[in-house]
Amino acid sequence: MQTFDLHIKNMVCPRCIKAVRGILENEGLPVHDVQLGKAVLTIQPDNEQLQAVAAALEKEGLPLVDDRKRQLVEAIKNIIVTTIHHSPMSELKENFSALLAARLHKDYHYLSNLFSEMEQTTIEQYIIQQKIERVKELLVYDEQTLSEIAYQMGYSSVAHLSGQFKKVTGFTPSRFKQLKEHKRRPLDAI
């Protein structure tokens, strides 16, 4: 079966997948699969359908990505977001450089240089930002101890997590929990 891929920016959660699927189905396009950053159609849409889809996705803050390099950067982001926010980090058997290289079938140094060039930050800093946002979320839920959070997020110790958290946010994790206004950032804004 021949398929047509649409690459989509800012997809960071299951609700994004649902929104994209709904938009495509509303346009009468047969959807084979939708995952973070990508929708697979069983036919190639005509220009009118593509423009309508692009406009509807843009309205939802999910613009289409045409540039191959931008698509690769979005794929890197999606792998990182999925790994950090939607699966236990403690089960990650390899480091992110090996994971990204294996999943994207590219040399990690190429991926790293491309990401830095296009995002003005390193993959490592992006990973740290995502991990800290996940830690903030877990702190707000208040269902786990800091030690459990550190383990779940793959930190070597509570001290390492606390130090990195303070460096990024300016607060210790315990001070952050005490704040009335939790300064969390949307994942697509990182």
Q: How far apart are CA 89 and CA 150, in angstroms?
A: 10
Question: What does pTM read for this prediction?
Answer: 0.77
- Domains of the chain and any CATH numbers: 4-59 (3.30.70.100), 68-119 (no CATH), 126-189 (1.10.10.60)
Reported as a single tens digit per residue, the pLDDT across 26-43 is: 999 999 999 989 999 999
Question: In this structure, are strands 4-7 and 31-35 parallel, antiparallel, or unpaired?
Answer: unpaired
- For the chain, what is the mean pLDDT? 91
Q: Is the pLDDT of residue 111 over 70?
A: yes
Reported as a single tens digit per residue, the pLDDT across 44-83 is: 999 999 999 999 999 999 999 989 999 999 999 999 999 9
Nearest to 84 by CA among 100, 105, 68: 100
> pLDDT-based confidence at 1, cuts 50/70/90?
confident
State phi, psi for 32 to the nearest 5 degrees. -85, -45
> pLDDT-based confidence at 142, cuts 50/70/90?
confident
Q: How far apart are CA 29 and CA 164, in angstroms?
A: 45
Reported as a single tens digit per residue, the pLDDT across 148-161 is: 999 999 899 999 99
Q: What proportion of the chain, given as a percentage, has pLDDT over 90?
A: 77
CB proximity list for 78: less than 8 A, separation 6 or greater? 11, 12, 35, 36, 37, 38
